[in-house]
Amino acid sequence: MGKSERPAINQAGFLSHLCSPERKPLQVQRQLTMKLSRAPRPSLRPFVDVIWASDGETSPVPQIGWKELVLPTGATHIVFRLGDTPLRIYRDRDDILGQNVGTSLIGGARATPYIKDVSISAPSVGAVLRPGAIDVLADVSAIELAGRHTQLENLLPHSRLSSIIDQLRETSQICARLRIFEDFLSSRLPQVHAIHPLVAHALERFDARACVWDIVTETGFSQRHFTRTFTQWVGLAPKTYCRVRRFGRVLKQMDAILAPNLADLAAAEGYADQAHMTREFRALAGLTPAQYVTVSPAHRYHVPFGRL
């Protein structure tokens, strides 16, 4: 596949730092950033959930050492960082050096968090693909990209990649950058027919909270065939995908309620009890529900854990 990474997270170290009284809110450092996100043009909507652009402006003094825990969404993400600063990720909170993974990237579907440097923002453009829609970008299976960042130079022809980067850099207007990015994604549409019908059916039924076995029965395929096909197109096995989706629904409820009752929330989302939800939350996020509520991040999937 080429240059890619799969970071590990030291959860115990992260948790102790997250709850440190010295932790400072990340929003202060990022308060001058302008970001625009919206649905893509209609022709892209079956494949792309949202597109976004940021001007990368921050406070005058970079906050060296700022890190952020990025929680899993189960989706595949595309990002073009238009400055000279590559994305830097870390194995754990004690990793001082980190690893640069590039400026034009695809972040595969994952079921674990990762840590990134947010010291200095860069003008960026990106998209969140719908599950099963990796074909809109390149001829590659989602499982090959899952759980890591992969440089787009390993997936796209050099001429296509350099052309879109040059066009994005030629304008500083984020609305114009979004239109250019949509044109780039739309150029693949003649080669993309639809999401695999088996996968599309499963995704629709999972949204209705159907269980894996019910869907296998409905399709008439073997569980092995269903699991293999779904994983190839989505990047996560069906049960793992459902776990991440349920985790996302929990985050959404926590974001909407000032002081959520965790026991009620666990029951509403179908966990056996609050302890079950806590174990799942820790496995997927690297922290407990109570710790997440205490931190109360400004952005649902982006948890700041301060300055080193």
pLDDT of 86 strictly over 80: yes
Q: What local confidence, expressed as pLDDT, does residue 12 receive? A: 43
Confidence band of 121 (pLDDT split at 50, 70, 90) = confident
Q: What local confidence, expressed as pLDDT, does residue 296 receive? A: 86
pLDDT of 63 strictly over 80: no
- Tokens (6 digits) for 134: 């990796």
- Per DSSP, what are the bridge partners of residue 106? 78, 150
**Percentage of the chain lying above the pLDDT 70 cut:** 85
Residues 6+ away with beta carbon under 8 Å from 141 = 134, 232, 233
Mean pLDDT of 67-94: 93
**Percentage of the chain lying above the pLDDT 90 cut:** 71
Least confident of 63-77, 145-159, 165-179, 276-290: 63-77
Q: What local confidence, expressed as pLDDT, does residue 94 receive? A: 83
Q: What local confidence, expressed as pLDDT, does residue 34 receive? A: 73
Q: In degrees rounded to 5, what are phi and psi of residue 157?
A: -60, 145
Distances (CA, A) of 290 to 14, 27, 38, 84, 173: 15, 21, 31, 38, 40
How confident is the model over 140-195, as pLDDT tens digits?
999 999 999 999 999 999 999 999 999 999 999 999 999 999 999 999 998 887 89
Q: What local confidence, expressed as pLDDT, does residue 58 receive? A: 53
Alpha-carbon torsion, ordered 74, 78, 23, 252, to 10 deg: -40
Least confident of 125-129, 183-187, 189-193, 204-208: 189-193
Q: What DSSP character marks residue 46?
A: T
- Tokens (6 digits) for 229: 């096909």
Average pLDDT taken over every residue of the chain: 87
How confident is the model over 213-254, as pLDDT tens digits?
999 999 999 999 999 999 999 999 999 999 999 999 999 999
Q: What domains sit in the chain, N to C, each tagged with a CATH number?
A: 4-194 (no CATH), 197-295 (1.10.10.60)
Q: What local confidence, expressed as pLDDT, does residue 84 receive? A: 87
How many whole angstroms separate alpha carbon 122 and alpha carbon 21?
Answer: 29
Q: Enter the pTM of the model.
A: 0.85
Q: Which of residues 200 and 21 earns the better pLDDT score?
A: 200
Mean pLDDT of 129-141: 93
DSSP secondary structure letters along 238-306: HHHHHHHHHHHHHHHHHHH-SS--HHHHHHHTT-SSHHHHHHHHHHHHSS-HHHHHHH--SBTTEEEEE
**Token pair 């407990």 is at which residue?**
288
pLDDT of 297 strictly over 70: yes
Q: What local confidence, expressed as pLDDT, does residue 308 receive? A: 31
Mean pLDDT of 98-115: 96
Give the three-state DSSP class for 52.
strand
